[in-house]
Amino acid sequence: MQQTNDDQQVVITGLGFVLPGAESRDDVWRTLRDGVSQIDVLPETITGGVTAGSVSRVGARVRDFDHTKHVPDLPDAFTKRYSREILMVLSAVEQARRDADLTIGDSVTEPQRVGVIGSSSRGPIEWWSQTARGRALDPENPPIDVDQAIFASLPGSPATLSAIRLGAQGTVTTLSNACVAGHQSIAFAVQSLRAGQADVMILVGHETPFVPEMLRLYSSPSAGVLSRAQGDPRQTIKPYDRRRDGFAFGEGAVAMVLETRAHAERRQRQPYAAVGSAVSLSEAGHATRMDLSGRFTAELISKATAAAGHPVEDLDYICGHGTATRYNDVAESRALRLVYGDDRAGWPPLGSIKPVFGHLLGASGLLNCAAVALVLRNQCLVPTINCVEVDPECDHDHVQEGARPALVRRALSLSFAIGSQSSAVALEKVA
């Protein structure tokens, strides 16, 4: 990514969330800082249709969601046609808009210079699964009737309906590239902003994966990435721990407002963080696992920091993909060895937030970056919970002791995806 002047610098000015147990910026920060896992046992309505013991039965679900707390002005005539996923997205986007104090169409922000990019790995799979089955998986949230489900059935609806509500008339689209789509939405937004094609880009990641088909698919022997751990569900995901056996799904929506620093200054907004670079590469290797040598990820880290204009030694924290699968955890640690050498005392802390909110798939990269932005704003590293008995190959600083106040100037978010995809986003504290 080409170096820029201060006016072209891209900054994060607004965040919004609808996540399990957390429906605000402050809720999300407290939950991450305190390391409170939101993973719980899934209801029988979701897992009861599959053979006992054949699938993972835990996950982080959004419960008791009420969109009227966030978008009380949304007419009933609309909501009866909008799925739970769409309503969560509209709620997160409205939070982010308010957080950024953004008014599209005022004297500063021209509607045609504002775009929206969504990211989701599966889109409206919850609606399609329930409709195909002819029954609700959650009696409190029945699917929209087919004759009213044009919006509920389309993967791009959350982004397009957000744009309509906002009055954003620039580019509106949705990306679907497994777990790197959130990072790629940032990369595309940054390109548009730095090229002068837009002043503001609103990003939203969304995922509602709790359907029997997804649980069976990711629990199958050919995948085997969902944890089957018994006991306390909050301890299900154990990144970088020798006892790890996979992840659990999470769901929800994450929204982020990006704009040029010049535009933010005209609006007198203080950013959370600046985006130094966003790099997305294809390993063009194995279709279902990352390069286990760590070489490709090491190159990715080096490219991302170089594009951000600083050496790898300046990183104060890395928010890893951290799925608690052997391939992911070991490859990340091997990459750090290649980048920094064998002296692990010189490595930046490597953490994971997935034990808290689960794996949000197509929304996970955006959530990672939002978490890093909060770390930079609060100057505090969040813990990697459930990392207790560290794998000897991952034996370095995972912030195991709990939240750690620290000087955090530059940080990196990593994402990896099925299909041999890798990505990194470099974020930095705004002076």
List, for residues 174-183, the tens digit of each pLDDT value.
Answer: 999 999 999 9
**pLDDT, averaged across the chain:** 94
Same domain assignment for residues 198 and 71: yes
CATH number at residue 80: 3.40.47.10
pLDDT in tens, 60-95: 999 999 999 999 999 999 999 999 999 999 999 999
Domain boundary among 245, 273, 301: 273
With respect to residue 247, please indicate whether it lies within any of the assigned structural domains.
yes
Q: Given CA atoms 387, 393, 394, 400 in this order, what sign does their dihedral have?
A: positive
Same domain assignment for residues 268 and 327: no
With respect to residue 240, please indicate whether it lies within any of the assigned structural domains.
yes
Counting the structural domains of the chain, the total is 2
With respect to residue 2, please indicate whether it lies within any of the assigned structural domains.
no
Amino acid code (one letter) for 353: I
Same domain assignment for residues 250 and 310: no
Domain boundary among 249, 273, 297: 273
Same domain assignment for residues 44 and 191: yes
What pLDDT is stored for residue 1 in this prediction?
Answer: 41
Task: Return the SS3 of 217.
Answer: helix
**What DSSP element (H or E) covers 207?**
strand 200-207
Residue in the structure block whose two tokens are 């154990």: 238
User: For residues 20 and 353, is the Cβ–Cβ distance under 8 A?
Assistant: no
pLDDT in tens, 366-419: 999 999 999 999 999 999 999 999 999 999 999 999 999 999 999 999 999 888
Same domain assignment for residues 82 and 199: yes
With respect to residue 1, please indicate whether it lies within any of the assigned structural domains.
no
Give the range of the structural domain holding residue 378, as residue numbers without chain letter: 278-428
What pLDDT is stored for residue 54 in this prediction?
Answer: 66
With respect to residue 369, please indicate whether it lies within any of the assigned structural domains.
yes
What pLDDT is stored for residue 135 in this prediction?
Answer: 87
Among 401, 284, 308, smallest CA distance to 35 is for 401
Same domain assignment for residues 16 and 149: yes
Same domain assignment for residues 336 and 378: yes
Domain boundary among 273, 295, 310: 273
Q: Model pTM?
A: 0.96
pLDDT in tens, 314-373: 999 999 999 999 899 999 999 999 999 999 889 999 999 999 999 999 999 999 999 999
In sequence order, the 6+-apart residues with CB closer than 8 A to the CB of 275 are 10, 11, 12, 186, 190, 258, 425, 426, 427
User: In the structure encoding, which two tokens stand for residue 278, read together?
Assistant: 């966003």
Same domain assignment for residues 225 and 77: yes
User: Do the bridges between strand 317-319 and strand 410-417 make them parallel or antiparallel, or are there none, so unpaired?
Assistant: parallel
DSSP H helical ranges for 35-83: 44-47, 76-79
With respect to residue 3, please indicate whether it lies within any of the assigned structural domains.
no
Question: What value does the CA radius of gyration of the chain take, rounded to a whole number of Å?
Answer: 20
What pLDDT is stored for residue 332 in this prediction?
Answer: 95
Same domain assignment for residues 372 and 352: yes
For the cut 80, the answer to whether the pLDDT of residue 289 exceeds it is: no
In sequence order, the 6+-apart residues with CB closer than 8 A to the CB of 298 are 335, 336, 338, 339
User: In the structure encoding, which two tokens stand for residue 152, read together?
Assistant: 């509920």
Same domain assignment for residues 122 and 224: yes
